[in-house]
Amino acid sequence: MRAKKSFTSAFSSLIMIPAIVIVTLLDKPDYDFFNFIHRNIVPIAEVVGRGLTYPARVVGRFADNMRKRRDILGENIEITARLETLEKTIMEKELLEKENALLMEKLNMAKAIKYKTAASRIIHDNSFMENQNFILERPGDEVSPGNIVVSNTGFLLGVVVENTGEYSKIRSVRDSRSNIPVRISGTNVFGFLQGGGNSSPELKFLSDGDFSPAPEMPLVTSGVNGNVPNDIPVGRIESADDGRIRVKLGAELKNQESVILLFFNKNERYD
């Protein structure tokens, strides 16, 4: 009990001393003392206060940065979703424009063709090296050797050479045995387009030996020997150097799913 009373008495004395000093100073202010506190104690207290509150301020700034980062990420996700929607809309628009252009080409080509036509599809690629042959599903009994096969965009693809049951064999313009009479569009210069297998077809035997062909000149069929109709687009001159005139075809059979048959009879000339 005596120890407890002694501790209480000491604590009371410790409290009383600063209280007496404060009361005395308030009753009779010592301005030098207050200036000393202001110049020395207050800055130290501010430093100590900032030090003690630094972890809390760091945590606060971190939380604020995380909140801002979350907001930015949310905005980025929203912007990304809007961009994806916009890109999808643009792609759909471009696809519709292409489909519309293809439809217009088909309609224009159908108006230009003077013979009966039929749509069919390629069911097998039987090409190898120099032999570039494809199997066509026959749309009817009217299909016969000599009928012309063109792409949906109107470019010459090949000629029907054989019928077997419900199928027809097409010899591609690329086939090494293919020899199509052509004309350089816009001129009276004729020649023959010879297939090169896997290599580019070549334009040979020009009717005008002095004519200088240039790249991008378009080629159309000439119908000189009556085996093909006139004025079917074939492709363009790709290069004309080293005495060889290479041709880039306007369409390739290997890239076609559907084709158009022209029921062309060489005995009925295409005028």
Q: What is the pLDDT of residues 205-224, one digit of tens each?
A: 999 888 888 899 999 998 77
Q: Tell me, what's the pLDDT at 104? A: 52
Q: Tell me, what's the pLDDT at 271? A: 34
- What's the token pair of residue 191? 């020649």
What average pLDDT does the segment 23-52 reach? Answer: 60
Q: Tell me, what's the pLDDT at 199? A: 86
DSSP 3-state of 183: strand
| Percent of the chain residues topping a pLDDT of 90 | 18
Mean pLDDT of the chain: 77
Question: With 70 as the cut, is the pLDDT of residue 265 above it?
Answer: no
Q: Which residue has the higher pLDDT, 30 or 200?
A: 200
% helix, strand, coil for the chain, step of 5: 40, 30, 30
Q: Tell me, what's the pLDDT at 140? A: 80
Q: Which residue has the higher pLDDT, 109 or 121?
A: 121
pTM of the prediction? Answer: 0.56
Question: CA-CA-CA-CA torsion for 115, 120, 124, 130, nearest 10 degrees?
Answer: 20
DSSP 3-state of 235: strand
Q: How far apart, in whole angstroms, are the C-alpha atoms of residue 222 and residue 141?
A: 28
Q: Tell me, what's the pLDDT at 18? A: 58
Beta bridge partner(s), residue 160: 170
